[in-house]
Structures are given as structure tokens and as C-alpha cells.
A and B are shown apart, each in its own frame.
Chain A
Amino acid sequence: MKNFVLMLVFVWGSSLALGDVLIKDARLVKDNGETGDVRDLHIKDGRIVEIGVNLKGTEETVIFDAMERAVTAGLIDSATTIGLAEVSGLGVSYDGEVSGDDMAAGFQVALALNPASTLIPLASNDGITRGIVVPEPGDSNFAGQSASVRFVQGRNFLQREDNGLHLYLRERDRRYAGGSRARALSLAVDALEEAGRFDRQREAFDSNELRPFAIGLDDLETLLRVRSGAMPLVVHVDRAADIRNVVDAFTAFPDLRLILAGAAEAWKVTESLLAHDIPVLINGLDNLPQNFDRLGARLDQAYLLSSAGVRFALMSGSPYSEFRSLTQAAGVAVANGLAWEQALLAITAVPAEIWGLEGLGKIDRGAKADLVIWSGDPLEVSSAPIAVMVEGGWVNLETRQDRLAKRYLEVLNLETKD
């Protein structure tokens, strides 16, 4: 059986498949990662078409026996740099920020992405099937637009190039606005107002009857899409007072979809977030009071937000250099009070909903078949995926690191059980 599984991985490779797969005996874990109903999942043309017991496929159906192992929806990381840098510390190899521009709203990281990155299978090995590739600020509080990606190597890597516009208003970001956070916020609001003026006078602008705008056309069009809610505004902000100001400032635009990221002190202002149903992306492991904006940083923030009813997703933050694992963040949240089921939702269904990723983050009839079959409790640091599917296709789990490890097992003649 095992060999058959491995062969499958090889044959199907990493392209999205329009095949017909039946995953037998998948444990749909719920409360603690080990218990849950055992069901068969029938997958066709990239979607889950049926969930039940003793399902039978057709002659074309390929059977995969999950052997009652935990199966979850593919995880979604709301902050990654995979595809933007092979080696993050080599400045010359990093495409995630632009300098020399005091307004970078129009900048999209999507065009820079490397769909052949050797880092992609590492995400798969952590059970992550989707990611938001996020720009960092170069010289502007508006840093640019994130892309959403599928973690498959090749031409299907990029999913959406205009996933969200990122605005940075953390302590260190005030320097982009002359040195005060007050100005940074008011300039951001002004830019949205300016976009509105541009839209109202578009004809006059096109016929050269209007003074030029201080903001480039590309940026104005982007800001307009944010105003209309076509693309969310993601504000990276930490301090409680700033979060309140940001919520007040941007909820004044009735169609704008506001998302907060980082938000170390969000737990202090839950009533403001609840009043406007603002979702929050948090780094579950980062509890250090690294500056005066983050004095309230704490490890049980997920639990506190959950208790207050605030929608939140966990993100890995610095994904492929420090803490690789999104499940570790979720597990730590559970250790600090969050219900297990809520923790799983915070890395699957909730981020899917926040980012508008249709059909993702859940195991439902009709949902996209992004699935992970785990060796054990998905939130345990010792567990790992044994197979990962993205939209119905098995992905390659072998990494360059695996090749290195195997090479040196041989070179050093280390004894293994196999």
C-alpha cells in the first residue's frame, strides 16, 4: 500500500489534476486532533464531490487509503515570502519591497514570483496549500499588493495578483511619513479621498481639463478598488490606540474591507473590532514587547480574541527562516487556552473567508480538494503530512533538504530502521 502511495505522488506530480480520486477512511478531526468521524472523500475535477461511508468510485477512480488518519483542509498561511526570495538574507535575491517611492499602492509582488522556488515543497511539508505572499514597505506606508498562491511548483503557483493592499502603520513605519504616525494615517486617508476625487472627475482628467494628481494613475486605480471593496485593505498595526484610530478612519469608507495584521494589542480593543466585524491576522508565537507599541503582546491573544468573538487567523510571520510551522502556532494557541477546533479553523476556514478564497479551508461537498493527510494530530509539532493534495492533484513532498539528508545518511553510514 505504501509503495502505491509513493508511486501516486510521483505520477501525479505537482500539476493541478482533473482526476478522480477516492480517499478512503479519512478521519475528519474536530475536537483534539485524534478523534472525529471517519469518512470517504470522493474527489473529481479538483473538487470534493461526495463525502460518505463506503463510497465506491468508478473504474477510473484511483483509491487512496488514509487508514483512519487525520485529514484536514489544506492550511492557509496569511503571511509568507515564498516565491519572493530563495535566500531571504541576500538582499539582491529579494523582490518584496520597492524603495524610492512614497506611494507604492500599485506595486504587485505577483510579477516577481518564482514558481520554481525550491521552498514550495517545504510549505507542502507543513501542510500548507495556500499562501498570501506579502510585500514589505520600502519607502512608503502603502507597500503594495499581496498575491495569493497555491503551493504547487509550476505555472499554477500564482492564484491572484491583487489579493490585498498592504498599509504599514507599526512603530517603525512612521519614518515613511516624515516621522509621525499621525501623518502616516492621515496621508493614507487622504490618498483614498484623492482616489475618490479622481473617480468623480475621470472624464475631466482624461481630457486634460484637470490638474494632475499627486498620486500616480496606477496607485489611484488601486486605491479606488480598495474603496469599492474589490480588494481588501490590510493594515499592519500593533498599538491599541492606533488600532482604534485605524478602525475609525477606514470604516468611514462604507464599502472598504478592512483587515488588521500583526495587531499585538488587538485583545485590548475587541469591542471596536466586533462593532465593525474587523478580522485580525495574528502571529501566534510573537509575544515580545519589542517596542512601546507592543507592550501588550502576549501568547494567549488567540484565546482572548476567540473569547471575545473576534474573527482571527493565525499566520506564520517569518515563515521559512525561523518558525516553519503554522501548525506550531496553532498548537501553542491551544496550549494557551484556545479550543482545538478554533485553532484549526484559524489556519483553514477563517483565513479562507478573510481572503475570500472561495471553496477553500473546509472539507465540504463542493469544496476545492485542498487536503492534507497527517501522520498524527495535525497541530502536534511531531506530526507531518504524509500526502498533500491541491485542487485534486497530489503535490510533490520531496524537498532538496530530503535529498541532502539522504545523501549524508549514506556518506556517514548512519543506521536507519528501514
Chain B
Amino acid sequence: MKQLLIKKVILLLMLSSWVGEVLGDYESTYQAKAHKSFIIENAVIDVGEGQGPFLGWIAVSEGRIQALGSSNESKPEVAERLDASGLWLTPGIIDVHSHLGDYPSPSYRAHSDGNEATSPVTAEVWAEHSVWPQDPQFPLALAGGVTALQILPGSANLFGGRSVVLKNVWSRTVQGMKFPGAPYGLKMACGENPKRVYGSKSQSPATRMGNFAGYRKAWIDAQEYQKKWQRYERSLNEYVAWESTKSGSDYKTRPSPPKRNLQMETLVGVLEGEILVHNHCYRADEMAQIIDLSQEFNYQVTAFHHAVEAYKIGDLLAVNNVCAAMWADWWQFKLESFDGVKSNVPMVHAAGACAIVHSDSATGIQRLNQEAAKALAAGQRLGLSLSDSDALTWLTRNAAKALGILDQTGTLATGKMADLVLWSHPPMSVYARAQMVFIDGVKQFDREKGIGPVTDFELGQREEIF
């Protein structure tokens, strides 16, 4: 694994002139407002590592967690103190599967921008170009404690396009929401959706084997494209070396770069390990074949999404280091979800794999803590040894890991972004509501004080409703 990483780093350095920057990454302009130093005291704190809660404090400075500790440990002297007695403190909830902004409310066709269902391979589209920042569903998710979320293209296509990770903040632009430094994801899809959408147009894929033929063809094209650029890089390096000395007999001309191909850039980004694969896949047997596919083309699947049958292959997910992002109890709405069980998430966890609870729903995203609680209880009824604290990792640490932002957020640790939620009750209770939500140390939501973003859409027609 480590060696592979080193190889990749070397390759990256080799290709640095074009992979060093992501072309077309319209830079994040997100900046947390006015940073204040403050300390939250007397909260029941769960840092999101599955270790269980403790009574303690957390100090925030410059938008980062400065320090945290239990009540009997000495804390820094900070003027602004927030007494959180009777409240529970967790890391911000992270939803790895959302379509907010791409499928906003109101949900008219004029607004429905989540699925470029015109060709089975649309790796060239980027979800961020569809996000409507004024979607009133963002503040509803914030009231549910969601501080960061991944917006994915839909699942009609084998390759749906690039995802984007957002901070759940009000902004005029999507650039103002983009999570600084978060890697891009690539949405892929197995099973019924691609074969239904294109099969019904008498076009490939019309079957699951058609799906696989489509993936493989695209990866072969991507390998070709990668080689073409590698050749160009080599000859460019040779030219640069020659130009600096002008030694040697034969005159060299500066090579011209191949024409950019947006579709291939995204796929090569995956092969280079820069873009994370988020693969919509329900059935266990299909997930197993996707893992083999990733080995054929030497890339890593970061997470299977929906993964309704992940409980059948938890061991396989663990050994291949693939996360499964799941619902607590959605099932039955299509044939490939018919084997859904309420203990899916805890069984994946118990098998040692990275389990995540996701929403894929503008309603569900408001209550991801309850979804985790349902899954937890189902696992406990089955006899699995699990705690509330384990269930919290499905919403925080593991989600951050799958988005490649665990070094920034997802757990409460010194130096990390101060993305925090204060809950009214233990977070796994149906009665728990987020009382306050902080993103990078800025209080974005305060239920008691009525502080929270109101989108442009809501102004004058819905602003009285949280």
C-alpha cells in the first residue's frame, strides 16, 4: 500500500506540470467570517472516535480547535465562554451522499440539474456547475447538524461526473461553499439505473454485462489518454533539458500538448489517485465485481453508496479498504434493494469495514443522527456489540475519511476545523435537536436565538420557518 503510494507520488512529480493543478477547479472563495476565540464548557463531548463521551470543554481559536479536555483538566483562559450544561457536543455531521442544490426545492424541471442522463459516460460533467446555492434545503440540513456534504451527480450513467464537497454555509456562489482543499469525487453507478435508462433507448448498456463492458472501455480509453500525456511530458522534459543547454546535434522543437479531453481528465484523475471513486451499487455480487474491475485498472474504490447488500460482503470491503455509505432502512423501492436489512450498517461495522450512514435525501439529511440510531438499535437487537459512540463515527469520522477531509474535520482534535454541533439530548435520541451549529468556529445556527441562514428563495415567502 505504502509502496503504491510512493509510486504514485513519483508519478505525480513526473507529471506535475499538468496534474499539479486541477484544471477547471474554480477556486474556493470560502472564508469563515470574524474569528473569535471562545470556549464551550460543561458539554458531554463525543469526539467521534468511537471511544464514548466525557464531560468536558473545547477551546476554539481562529476557527480551529485549539484544545479540548475533560472537566478536571485545566483549560486555556478565554474571555468568551459558552456554558453548554445539559447539552451534547459532537463533530459536525457530514453527508457523503447529497443532491442539495442539484435537485433543489422547489423541485421543478427547471431546477432539476442532477443527472446528465444523455450518455452512459459523462465523466466530463461537474456537479458544482449545477449547484444552486439558494436551495432552501441547505439551511434545513444545517438545522440537522450537517456542516459538510458531498454533492453527487445522479446515477443514470456508468460514469455520472464529478462530485463536489461543500461547507454548509450561505453563499452567493458555489465557490463560496466549496470545501477548501477537498478532493473531487467521481460518481459511478452499477446495476439497474444505467441499464434501464439506456436500455430503454435501445442503447448500451441494456444489461449488467453491458454496464461492465462500458466501464472497461472507458478505463482503457483513460489509460490511453494517460499514456499520451505521459509521452508528451517526456518529450517536453527532453525539450526543456535540451533548450537549457542547447547541446547535442539534433535541433528539438517544443512539443505541443495533446488536446484536452474533459471526460478523460476526470478518469485519469482517478487512475492518478487524485479523484475518489464513489460508486452507487446495491448488490453484493456487483460490488465484488467492481472491486475486481478496480484491480484490473489499478484504481481504488473509495466508497460504495447505498450498498444495500454490503452486509453480505463486509469482509471483502474491509480487506479492500472500501467504505460503504448506507441508509438505515430504505429498501424495497427497486428489485436490487429488496434484500435490504435494518442491520446493514452495524454488520458492515462489525466486519471491520468503514461504515457510513448517508442520506441521498433532502428529508433524511435533516435527521442523519436518527438514521444512525435506528441502524445501531437494529445491530444491538441482532446481538452485535455496539455503542452510541460507534454509531456517531458513521456520521462523522468515517464520512470525512471517505471524502478525503479527515485531516481537516470529522473528529474533534486539536488543529482541526471547529465544525461542531451542540445537541439538546443524546444525539442518538429522536428527541435530540441541534441547538447550535458551528462551522470553522462560526456559529451558523442557534435555535434558541433564531439565528440561521435564510436563503434568497425563502425571503418574503418562507422566512418564518426554520
Interface status of A67 (Cβ within 8 A of chain B): no
Q: Contacts of B343 on A, CB cut-off 8 Å? A: 405
Pick from A285, A288, A379: contact of B105, CB under 8 Å = A288
- Interface-central residue, A294, A323, A328, A417, by most chain B CB under 10 Å: A323
Q: Are A324 and B430 in contact, with the CB atoms below 8 A?
A: no
Q: Contacts of A285 on B, CB cut-off 8 Å? A: 363, 367
Q: Contacts of A88 on B, CB cut-off 8 Å? A: 332-333
Q: Contacts of A321 on B, CB cut-off 8 Å? A: 330-333, 337
8 A Cβ contacts from A65-108 to B: 86-90
Pick from A90, A289, A298, A381: contact of B334, CB under 8 Å = A90
Known: A328-B370, A381-B373, A404-B339. A414 touches B384 (CB 8 A): yes
Interface status of B99 (Cβ within 8 A of chain A): no
Q: Are B428 and A382 in contact, with the CB atoms below 8 A?
A: yes
In the assembled complex, how far is the CB of residue A338 from the closest CB belonging to chain B, in whole angstroms?
Answer: 11
Interface status of B297 (Cβ within 8 A of chain A): no
Q: Contacts of A323 on B, CB cut-off 8 Å? A: 329, 363-364
In the complex, number of A-B residue pairs with CB atoms less than 8 Å apart? 150
Q: Are A404 and B430 in contact, with the CB atoms below 8 A?
A: no
Task: Please measure, in the bound complex, the distance between the C-alpha atom of A379 and the C-alpha atom of B433, giving whole angstroms.
Answer: 15
Interface status of B376 (Cβ within 8 A of chain A): yes
* One of B71-79, B81-89, B180-188, B307-315 contacting the partner: B307-315
Pick from A87, A119, A295, A416: contact of B382, CB under 8 Å = A416
Known: A321-B330, A418-B383. A401 touches B340 (CB 8 A): yes
Interface status of B377 (Cβ within 8 A of chain A): yes
In the assembled complex, how far is the CB of residue B330 from the closest CB belonging to chain A, in whole angstroms?
Answer: 6
Q: Contacts of A89 on B, CB cut-off 8 Å? A: 333-335
Interface status of A353 (Cβ within 8 A of chain B): no
Interface status of A415 (Cβ within 8 A of chain B): yes
Q: Contacts of B108 on A, CB cut-off 8 Å? A: 291
In the assembled complex, how far is the CB of residue A371 from the closest CB belonging to chain B, in whole angstroms?
Answer: 20
Interface status of B429 (Cβ within 8 A of chain A): yes
Task: Please measure, in the bound complex, the distance between the C-alpha atom of A332 and the C-alpha atom of B431, giving whole angstroms.
Answer: 6
Q: Contacts of A328 on B, CB cut-off 8 Å? A: 370, 374, 430
Chain B proximity mask over A283-296: 1 for CB below 8 Å, otherwise 0: 00111111110111
Q: Contacts of A335 on B, CB cut-off 8 Å? A: 424, 430-433
Known: A296-B462, A298-B465, A382-B374. A320 touches B351 (CB 8 A): no
Interface status of B414 (Cβ within 8 A of chain A): no
Chain A proximity mask over B402-434: 1 for CB below 8 Å, otherwise 0: 000000000000000000000010001111110
Task: Please measure, in the bound complex, the distance between the C-alpha atom of A332 and the C-alpha atom of B369, giving whole angstroms.
Answer: 12
8 A Cβ contacts from A280-320 to B: 285-292, 294-299, 320
8 A Cβ contacts from B241-257 to A: none
Q: Contacts of A408 on B, CB cut-off 8 Å? A: 311-312, 347
How many residues does chain A have at the interface if contact means C-beta atoms less than 8 Å apart?
A: 53
Q: Contacts of B137 on A, CB cut-off 8 Å? A: 288
Known: A290-B105, A290-B106. A412 touches B329 (CB 8 A): no
Q: Contacts of A406 on B, CB cut-off 8 Å? A: 382
Interface status of B453 (Cβ within 8 A of chain A): no
8 A Cβ contacts from B315-353 to A: 315, 329-335, 337-343, 347, 350-351
Q: Are A379 and B363 in contact, with the CB atoms below 8 A?
A: no
Q: Contacts of A298 on B, CB cut-off 8 Å? A: 465-466
Q: Contacts of B374 on A, CB cut-off 8 Å? A: 325, 328, 381-382
8 A Cβ contacts from B264-284 to A: none
Pick from B334, B351, B362, B430: contact of A331, CB under 8 Å = B430
Q: Are B461 and A295 in contact, with the CB atoms below 8 A?
A: yes
- Interface-central residue, A285, A321, A381, by most chain B CB under 10 Å: A381
Interface status of A152 (Cβ within 8 A of chain B): no
Known: A289-B462, A290-B106, A412-B314. A401 touches B341 (CB 8 A): yes
Interface status of A322 (Cβ within 8 A of chain B): yes
Q: Contacts of A292 on B, CB cut-off 8 Å? A: 106
Q: Are A320 and B382 in contact, with the CB atoms below 8 A?
A: no
Chain A proximity mask over B102-114: 1 for CB below 8 Å, otherwise 0: 0001111000000
Interface status of B136 (Cβ within 8 A of chain A): yes
Q: Are A382 and B373 in contact, with the CB atoms below 8 A?
A: yes
Q: Contacts of A381 on B, CB cut-off 8 Å? A: 370, 373-374, 377, 428-430
Q: Are A409 and B382 in contact, with the CB atoms below 8 A?
A: yes
In the assembled complex, how far is the CB of residue B151 from the closest CB belonging to chain A, in whole angstroms?
Answer: 17
Task: Please measure, in the bound complex, the distance between the C-alpha atom of A281 and the C-alpha atom of B340, giving whole angstroms.
Answer: 29
CB-nearest residue of chain A relative to B385? A417
Chain B proximity mask over A314-351: 1 for CB below 8 Å, otherwise 0: 00000011111101100110111000000000000000
For this complex, 19 residue pairs linking A to B, each with C-beta atoms less than 8 Å apart, are A86-B338, A88-B333, A90-B335, A288-B140, A288-B362, A292-B106, A299-B466, A328-B374, A380-B431, A381-B373, A381-B428, A382-B380, A384-B377, A401-B341, A405-B382, A408-B311, A412-B351, A414-B347, A417-B383
Question: Could you tell me which B residues sit within 8 Å of A by CB distance?
Answer: 105-108, 136-137, 140, 311-312, 314-315, 329-335, 337-343, 347, 350-351, 361-364, 366-367, 370, 373-374, 376-377, 380-385, 424, 428-433, 458, 461-462, 465-466
Beyond contacts A89-B335, A379-B430: 18 other A-B pairs, Cβ-Cβ < 8 A, are A87-B333, A87-B338, A119-B332, A286-B363, A287-B140, A290-B105, A321-B331, A323-B364, A335-B430, A335-B431, A401-B340, A408-B312, A409-B382, A412-B347, A415-B384, A415-B385, A416-B382, A416-B385
Give 10 nearest A-B pairs by CB, closest first: A416-B383, A331-B430, A321-B333, A382-B377, A89-B334, A401-B341, A89-B333, A298-B465, A405-B341, A381-B373
